[in-house]
Structure 1
Amino acid sequence: MVAAREDGRTLVVLANFVSPLTVDLRAASVPRRWSEQAPRTIWLTRPGDVLVVPVPLSESFCHYAFTRLGMPQDRVTAVTVPDIPHVPMADAVSAHGLLEPLRALLRERPQPRLLPTALDEGCVALAAALGIGIEPYEAGGPSARTVRTVADLNTKSGFRAVAPGLGVRLPYGAVCAGADLPRVIDELLAAWERVVVKPDRSAGGHGLRFVTRDDRLDETRRPAGGYWVVERYVEHTRAVSAQGECTPDRVSVPFDGEMRMTGGAFAGYRSPPYDVPDLARAELTEWTLALGRHLVAEGYRGPFSLDAVCTRDGTLYALECNVRRTATTTPHALVTRLTGNATPAWSTGTVRADAPRSFDTMVEHLIEAGLDYRPETGVGVILYTDRPVDGAGWRYVAMAADHTGLTEVEARLAAAFGHDDG
């Protein structure tokens, strides 16, 4: 049986995937699609916690998750805050009239604190309205300066402004307003055969485009609103990412790994990295620690990541940082919690079933295939979020003692369900 936290705290786990930190909220379909992954935050909870999510959790998924965590299901309260187009989730709590019900829940719980996915202005205001602190900040919470720093560094231009001073190598590039985008693209294509065009504030590959000299003058180069970053495309063999953690007196790198990418979009992860040169991996760690020290000086506490690409000769180029809980933060917490080991081999991806299935049916098939995670061996697969909307593309975490074992688990998973998208 999993006990409550030793210090008696209660966490209000806020799955604010819909946040102005990550994307322009006018692109309503994008944050809504990300919100479908919000049930994964269930793996962060302990008895007495409150889970605030934008989509309802199925009974089957809750039973599955709490059984594997060794927790009684009725000890965590889930509150659903339906999506409101163009409105940050933290603001939607009040808009749906849920502030008082949340206050009532928290009056029954000791030392409640808010644990947001993204530290945005809305979540700071929500914590104040609830009369609680924000995890893991000291009394008083994050300063306005810290919140501004977080917002800035979650833009491509904000990261590019800070990175050189930290000794971080970047691809050649430029920041511009949408009206100047065609000109800047042409200027960079005069020097480089291929460039990458990115919205200044975006995540998960949203809005990213690759442009070559042969491309026609089409939507790619027409003026657009907002701000953009145009960079030389770096030919690379691996896309890598390291996860940092900031505390008041220390910065650490809990893990690093290789990102699985599809068309520039994040599609999964494998940790530790398998075929990245030692010097490049050490440099990624050094850069992550340097960025973390900068964040600590700005008052930031909590997780962040640094993404980069590694060329064939082992040269590393940083692309962006994400100052929030990312697509790997919660899976890593899940792996550590289930295995009791901070550094097993693990991966995330999406496996596609040949036909839509219910959650319980998918679990049954995992068990029949001998793939369901077994705590006595530390090997197997966990479905880390709820049933996908299409019932076919299932997100998973795979675990094993080493790379060889992990490769075997994923190969068996792909064979059992047809093919693997990850």
Structure 2
Amino acid sequence: MSTLVIGNAYNEHLVGDLGALTPERRDALGNISLRLAWLLEPGDVLVVPQPVTPAFLHHLLDLKGLSADEVTVLVPPPGRFGDGILTGDRLLDPGFVERLRPVLAENAVDTVLPYAFDSAVAELARLLGLDKGTPGFGFLEEGGTDLLNSKCAFRAIAAGRGLPMAEGVATGDRAVAQGFAARMLAGGRPVIVKQDHHAGGYGNDILAPHPGVDPIGASRAVLLQDPAAVARHFDTHWAAYTGGGRHPVVVERYHPDSVPLTAELEIHDDGVDLHHVAMMRMRPVLDGIAISPACQTEEQRTAFADGARDLCVPVRAMGYRGLINIDVILTPDGEMLFSEFNGRLGGTTHLHHIGTRFLGSDYATRSTMLTRNSWRVGSMEQARAYLAERGLAFDPATGHGVLVTCDSTRRCGTVEYCIVADDPDTARATERALALATA
């Protein structure tokens, strides 16, 4: 049987206010959904917000040993935010739903796998008869993933499991949020303000009591050196932080120079499987991934994996089935602090599929995979030619080289690459060679 894969990354379910983003930013974020093409198997149907360039699809299918007639890629009509992001109105467009029906029947599609299982996906699944074949559908249909993509819900569940977290508050009360921030800043400690529903570090602010605090996991650092400045900041930004008062916020102590790690796990009827632990490369928000045994010590990896599995216990008991991404930071003092979870596909899901297909199930402990989201090239064709001419293109026979994992050239003039090597030094040397490329 086959799967309907839906690339609804950064939709209205995951982003507090899509209208606050520029059309260019929405285009860039929606383009990330094209990564899901790496998940395709024969008979699968992929729905994405933007067309997949023939050169990118050929690159991907050729490496996977598939032909173009074995998979189907569809793009719905534009919606209220245009054609950059796959919003619910596009997914549920009546004409598009009717277009899907015969395609799914022809390919014997019996389950749905979205990037994020929101209410629009649940409605579409019911309309197309895919609800019974989708594990955990009851939890998903009732909005369960709202809990699993909430930073506030995360703090409550993690605290209940006794997992270490940064000192902080989850609240919809401005006085509580502002008061915590003011106390931290008065003591010389920076804080991070996190919107409850957002992804990739977007929507977060660092509030700093002194210059020199570099933002990691946030778009900016704001200097606030007295209580009056703190009050003015919350006057100006409280509505944005809370989505016009609809959502609470998280305010936590910020630990500068920490290393952010993420783990992807799969929750199923029989238990929980760990896919990998990865380091998030921030500039200052997420711009790449490093999966390598050298990114953390064995002790750190074990502690993270144990804590992540423990966090999955109540999540599994609630009825969730599927992928979950759990983040921690490693502070300069050696603390491991759990920071959030996301019950959905994530920025490393396609890398897991690439790793298992080309390197084996133990890829995360014996190889290095190094990615950047934005290698500037003129076109997908130019990227492939550059890699081929210099002998850098990925070779499935050796398991080494560079794959183009997402093509953003139409909208952003960039591609995302993934370097696969035996060790970090070799991967970094290849990355330096890519940095010399010019469009």
TM > 0.5 between the two? yes
Which secondary structure does the structure 2 equivalent of 1:97 belong to? helix
Shift of residue 312, structure 1, vs aligned partner: 2.5
Which secondary structure does the structure 1 equivalent of 2:52 belong to? coil
Matched residues, number: 404
Which secondary structure does the structure 2 equivalent of 1:211 belong to? strand
Cα distance between partner residues in 2 of 1:415 and 1:335: 26
Kindly indicate whether the alpha-carbon contact (under 8 Å) linking 2:380 and 2:415 is maintained by their aligned counterparts in 1.
Answer: no
Tell me how large the CA RMSD over aligned residues is.
2.4
Which secondary structure does the structure 2 equivalent of 1:126 belong to? helix
Among 185, 193, 209, the alignment partner of 1:213 is 209
Residues 1:310 and 1:83: Cα distance change in structure 2 (over 3 Å): farther
Q: Which residue number corresponds to residue 37 of structure 2? A: 42
Within-5 A mapping of 1:381-392: 381-389=402-410, 392=413
The Cα offsets for residues 283-319 of structure 1, whole Å up to 9 and x where unpaired, read as 1111110122222111111111111111233210111
Q: Which residue number corresponds to residue 243 of structure 1? A: 264
Within-5 A mapping of 1:20-419: 20-27=12-19, 29=21, 31-85=26-80, 89-95=87-93, 97-133=95-131, 137=135, 141-144=136-139, 147-177=142-172, 179-180=174-175, 181-214=177-210, 215-216=223-224, 217=229, 220-222=233-235, 223-224=238-239, 225-226=244-245, 227-263=248-284, 265-343=285-363, 344-353=367-376, 356-389=377-410, 392-417=413-438
Cα distance between partner residues in 1 of 2:88 and 2:126: 12
Name the % identity: 28
Shift of residue 273, structure 1, vs aligned partner: 4.5
Among 3, 6, 10, the alignment partner of 1:11 is 3
Cα distance between partner residues in 2 of 1:417 and 1:290: 47
Cα distance between partner residues in 2 of 1:244 and 1:210: 29
Q: Which residue number corresponds to residue 218 of structure 2? A: none
Kindly indicate whether the alpha-carbon contact (under 8 Å) linking 1:153 and 1:322 is maintained by their aligned counterparts in 2.
Answer: yes
Residues 1:235 and 1:147: Cα distance change in structure 2 (over 3 Å): farther
| Structure 2 unaligned residues grouped into runs of 5+ | 211-222
Q: Which residue number corresponds to residue 4 of structure 1? A: none
Kindly indicate whether the alpha-carbon contact (under 8 Å) linking 2:119 and 2:141 is maintained by their aligned counterparts in 1.
Answer: no
The residue type equivalent to 2:418 in the other structure is V
Shift of residue 372, structure 1, vs aligned partner: 0.5
The residue type equivalent to 2:268 in the other structure is T
Shift of residue 359, structure 1, vs aligned partner: 1.2
Kindly indicate whether the alpha-carbon contact (under 8 Å) linking 1:280 and 1:314 is maintained by their aligned counterparts in 2.
Answer: no
Shift of residue 417, structure 1, vs aligned partner: 4.9
Cα distance between partner residues in 2 of 1:335 and 1:417: 28
Cα distance between partner residues in 1 of 2:140 and 2:43: 32
Cα distance between partner residues in 1 of 2:296 and 2:337: 13
Cα distance between partner residues in 1 of 2:179 and 2:86: 34
142-151 vs 318-327, which moves further:
142-151
Q: TM-score, normalised by structure 1?
A: 0.88
Kindly indicate whether the alpha-carbon contact (under 8 Å) linking 2:264 and 2:325 is maintained by their aligned counterparts in 1.
Answer: yes
Residues 1:147 and 1:388: Cα distance change in structure 2 (over 3 Å): farther
Kindly indicate whether the alpha-carbon contact (under 8 Å) linking 2:290 and 2:370 is maintained by their aligned counterparts in 1.
Answer: yes
Which secondary structure does the structure 2 equivalent of 1:374 belong to? coil
The residue type equivalent to 1:190 in the other structure is A
The residue type equivalent to 1:56 in the other structure is P
Q: Which residue number corresponds to residue 220 of structure 2? A: none
Residues 1:28 and 1:382: Cα distance change in structure 2 (over 3 Å): farther
| Structure 1 unaligned residues grouped into runs of 5+ | 1-8
Residues 1:381 and 1:147: Cα distance change in structure 2 (over 3 Å): farther
Which secondary structure does the structure 1 equivalent of 2:104 belong to? helix
200-209 vs 22-31, which moves further:
22-31
78-87 vs 344-353, which moves further:
78-87
